Structure 1
Amino acid sequence: QSNALQASAVGHAGPAAINEFLHNCQLIAVRMYTTAAALAGSKELCGILNEALRDDRPQHAVQFARALNQHLVTGRAHSAAAAPVRWPPTNCTWRGGALPPRFRHFFVPGKQFRTPMFLSTSSSRDKALEFLADRGGPDYVLWTIEFDPSRRCDHVNFIDRHDGTLDPNDPNYGAEDEFLFAPYSGFIVVRVTWQDAPTADRPHEIVLRAVVDNSVIREDAPLAPWA
C-alpha cells in the first residue's frame, strides 16, 4: 500500500499528486495488485488475493476486489471507467503458465466456464512466453484469449500503472502489457492442442473466446479448476 501511494504521486505536483489516492481508489488498487513485493512467505499480493477468491474465502478480500473491479468492468454506465484504457491491437491476449495433467479433461472445445479469480493476460505474446518459460515447467501451456472485434468485452481492462516495484523509475505505464479480467469472467473453449511432452518451445495450446458480457454465461457455469 505504501508503494502504491508513493507511486501515485510520481510525476505529479501540487493537488495532482494526491488526487489519485483521494478520489480514485480503483487506481490505487490497480497499483497494489501489480506489486512484485513478496508478502506472507514469498507470495505476491495478487496470488494471496486470488487464492482467497478461488477458495471462496472473500471476507478480507471483498473491499479490495470491489475497488479493482471498478477499473476492470468497463461496460456499465455506472462504472468508474467509461471505456477501456487501451485495447489489444490484435483482439487477442495471451497467458503462459502450467496446466497439470489432471485438469486437461476440463478444457474441451465448446465448454463454457467461469474463472473464480482475477485473470492476468498480456497483449504481448512474447511476455506470455516469458512467464511460460519461467513458471510453466514441466506442464507448459500457452493460453490465447480471443475477443469479439466489434463488441469487445465488458469486464477486462488494461493495467496502465504499477506500484514502482516493476520499474522504480516510472510507475505510470503498463510494465507487462497486462489486460486483467474480473473474477468469474466467462469463457468458451475454442480449440485445444495437447503435446505428449510439452516444452517451452512446444507447449500445450488452449484457445478461448472471452464472452462480451458475463450475463450470457449462466451463473452456475462450471468453474475452471486451473487457469
Structure 2
Amino acid sequence: MAPKVNLDFILEMLDAASTVDGLREIVERVCESFGVDHAMYHWVDSAGDHYYFGTYKDEWVARYQEKSYVRVDPVIIGCYQRFHPVDWRRLDWSSKPAREFMQDARDHDVGNQGYSIPIRGPKGQFALFTVSNNCDDATWDNFIERHSRDLILMGHYLNRKVLEFEPDRGPGQVQPLSPREIDALTLLAMGYSRAQVAQTLSISEHTLRVYIESARFKLGAINTTHAIARALSLGLIII
C-alpha cells in the first residue's frame, strides 16, 4: 500500500455531502486514498436492523444478514466491549463459529486484515467504521501506525453526517430496567461470571438468565455484551 491521503479534502467532502449516495462515493474515495481494499460503515440499531454502506460485495452483505453473523462476528462482539479501535488480529477467533465466519468472510474477499473503530453516538447509538485489506502483518502494522488517527477522525465525521440524514433512526425510548436487572448487568460488566453473579444475588443461574434475557429485550440488544454496552452508554448502570 502506498496511499496518498488528503484528509482535509475527504473531511470537506463529508461536510458537503447531502445524500447517502454521496457518502457511499466518499467511502469509495477513502479506499483509493488510503490504498485499502474495503471501507464500511455499519450501524446496528436497537431493533436489530442494519444500516450500512461501503464497498463489500452485495453477496457478502446479504449472506452476513442471512446467517445472522452479527451474533458471532468477533469484530462486533469485540467492539461492543471496547471504546478504542480494534485490530482484527487482536480479537478472539478461537471458537468454531468465529473461525467459520472468518473463512466465509475471506472467501468473499473481505480481506485478511482489518481495523474497526467503535462509534458511540447519542441515546446509546453504536456503529462501526471499518477498513480491511489483503496484506501481510508488517504492512498492516505500518498502515495502522501511519493512519489510525485519520481513520478515527473520519469515522466520527461519517457518523455525524449519517445522524443528520437519519434523524428518525435513533435508538428510541428504552423501557426501565428492574433493580435486579440492573444488579445483574452491573456485576457482569464488572467481570463477574454468571455463577458468581447468581451467588452474589442469592438466586439460581436459571433466574439470572431470566433477568438477563428480560434486560436484553428492554434494551433491544442482540446479546448480553450488547446489553451491557447499551446500559453503560445510557447511564442505566455505572461501574
TM-score (normalised: structure 1) = 0.27
Larger RCO of the pair (alpha carbons < 8 Å, separation 6+): 1
**Bigger proportion of residues as helix:** 2
More strand by share: 1
Which has the higher Rg, Structure 1 or Structure 2?
Answer: 2
